[in-house]
Structures are given as structure tokens and as C-alpha cells.
Amino acid sequence: MDKQQRIIQMFNDISPTYDRLNRILSFGVDRQWRRNGCRAAMKIHGGPVRHLVDVATGTGDLILFWREAAASQGTTIERVTGVDPAVGMLELARGKVDDVTFMEAPATALPLEDDSADLISISYGIRNVVDVEGALREFHRVLAPGGLAVILEFMSREKLTLMDRMNRLYMSQVLPRVGAMISRDKEAYTYLPESIQGFMSTEQLCDMLTRAGFELVEVQDEFLGISTRFIARKPAASASQ
Ligand SMILES: C[S@@+](CC[C@H](N)C(=O)[O-])C[C@H]1O[C@@H](n2cnc3c(N)ncnc32)[C@H](O)[C@@H]1O
């Protein structure tokens, strides 16, 4: 099994306890980061959404926040597609979110047509994609000109603030223990802090987005930089690569 397959298998294994653990381990603050991300992007998009694609959708949480953001701005989302390569996660998403087409696929090979989405989101998923550049190129292909890519992620940092140090301590000492206790999967919750530390910095992801043909619209840290959101646009004049 290659690295990407092992990561997907791990998410399949932890899927039954994923939602519960997410809420416990983040103290529920991830809800605010999701809400802020969807509202900010919806405001920038500024009108009805014909097609929203949530990649690495997991149990479908972000879709609920997209719908809430649309309702709060008095607009609508016509069609929603949720994509994830882990069937265990998709099964839970199907039981939780209505009126969504769910597809089993990786971020690097979306089974969707060129220029067919207004919004593509990926929350806390891009760090699990081994070929990040391939995924960004794929988002660019599937987005319609003028469409937005929205990424929420825990980025690695070179210079650590006191908050970063406390967060690292929590991630490396508390999170693996609580995660292992509830999910009975020690490896998965050791992988999480390692995957954050081994992931790229905000600047590196910005460079990759630009190289993939995107214009950066907004890069915003949440909670003293623990989570970062990126909103990037496929230029209006741009055709799929
Ligand atoms: C930490 S979960 C995030 C799920 C959801 N977006 C959320 O915010 O709760 C990461 C998700 O990425 C998915 N994933 C792993 N490798 C992937 C890949 N190559 N392409 C797309 N999704 C992937 C996993 O199956 C898992 O559902």
C-alpha cells in the first residue's frame, strides 16, 4: 500500500468515531472556523451558487456550513457534490446531509467536467493529499472562470509563537492519547500532529496556488494562526489547463 492509500485506509478505520472526536479535540472551535470560511467566501462570490463541490468532504460537515452561509446571505446553492476517497466517511455523510451527490474519488482526479463548479472547498483535507499540486490543478480545471477555491487548513510554521508552542504540546501529548482512547486507533491520532508539522507553510501554499493559475483573494489566520483559510480565484478570462 502506498502512502496515499494508507492515509485513506486510516480515515476509513476512524470514520465511526471521527465526528465525536473532532468536537472533543477541537473544543468545538472548528465550527467557528468553518462558519467564518463559508461566510467569507459566500460574500466574495456574491450571488447564487450553481454548483458547490466539497472535496475531502469526510462526514459532510462543511456542506452544512455552506448552506447556513447561503441562507444567512439570502442566497441559494443549486447543486452540491461531496467527494472523498474513503467510503466509510462517505457513508456517514450520506446519513447526515441531504440533497448531495456523493462521489468516491481523490482530490487529484475529480469525476467532474471542466469549468463546472462555482465553488470548490476542502477543509482540513489538503494536508492528507500527497500530490497537493495535482489537486490544485484539478480544482482549477473543474472551477468555472471566476470560481473560488476555499481551503481551510492547519499550516506548519517556522517561527513559533507561545500559542504555537502550546498548540504543539496539545497536539503531540494530549490529542494522540484522547484520540487513541476513543477511536482505539493510536496510529491515526499520532499521524494527525505529524501531518501538520510535516505540511507546508502558508507562504508555500500561496506559491502553489499561484503556480496552479489562481489569484489569491484572501489569506486569513484564525485563532492566532492555528487554522488558516485561503480563498483563491480562477481568473475570469482563464480556460482550464
Ligand atoms: C481530517 S478529514 C476532514 C474531513 C472534512 N472535510 C472535515 O472538515 O471534517 C480529511 C479527509 O480527507 C480525506 N482524504 C484523504 N486523502 C485524500 C485525497 N487524496 N483526496 C481527497 N480526500 C482525501 C479523508 O478520507 C478524510 O475524509
Widest pairwise Cα distance in the chain: 51
Asked if the structure places residue 174 within a domain, the reply is: no
Interval 22-74: pLDDT, tens:
777 777 788 999 999 999 999 999 999 999 999 999 999 999 999 999 999 99
Interval 105-124: pLDDT, tens:
999 999 999 999 999 999 99
Establish whether residue 86 lines the binding site of ligand 1, counting it when its CB lies within 6 angstroms of any ligand atom.
yes
Asked if the structure places residue 187 within a domain, the reply is: no
Asked if the structure places residue 227 within a domain, the reply is: yes
Asked if the structure places residue 63 within a domain, the reply is: yes
Q: Residue 99 sits in a domain of what CATH number? A: 3.40.50.150
CA distances from residue 82 to 87, 94, 162, 200, 238 in whole angstroms, order as listed: 12, 10, 37, 25, 25
Q: Which residue has the cell 476542502?
A: 122
DSSP 174: I
CA of 237 to the centre of ligand 1 (A): 31
Give 190's pLDDT tier (boundaries 50, 70, 90).
confident
Residue whose Cα lies nearest atom 25 of ligand 1: it is: 86
Q: Which residue has the cell 506548519?
A: 156
pLDDT at residue 235 greater than cutoff 70: yes
Give 238's pLDDT tier (boundaries 50, 70, 90).
low
Establish whether residue 132 lines the binding site of ligand 1, counting it when its CB lies within 6 angstroms of any ligand atom.
no
Number of structural domains found in the chain:
1
Establish whether residue 63 lines the binding site of ligand 1, counting it when its CB lies within 6 angstroms of any ligand atom.
no
Helices (H), 27-142: 29-45, 61-72, 87-96, 132-142
Asked if the structure places residue 178 within a domain, the reply is: no
Establish whether residue 124 lines the binding site of ligand 1, counting it when its CB lies within 6 angstroms of any ligand atom.
yes
Instruction: Identify the three-state secondary structure at position 162.
Output: helix
pLDDT at position 2: 95
Give the domain extent around 37: 3-159+200-233
Asked if the structure places residue 171 within a domain, the reply is: no
Establish whether residue 212 lines the binding site of ligand 1, counting it when its CB lies within 6 angstroms of any ligand atom.
no
Asked if the structure places residue 119 within a domain, the reply is: yes
pLDDT at residue 240 greater than cutoff 60: no
Asked if the structure places residue 10 within a domain, the reply is: yes
Is residue 103 within 8 A of residue 81, CB to CB? The reply is yes
pLDDT averaged over the chain?
91
pLDDT at position 174: 77
Total residue count of the chain as it appears in this document: 241
CA of 59 to the centre of ligand 1 (A): 9
Is residue 97 within 8 A of residue 63, CB to CB? The reply is yes
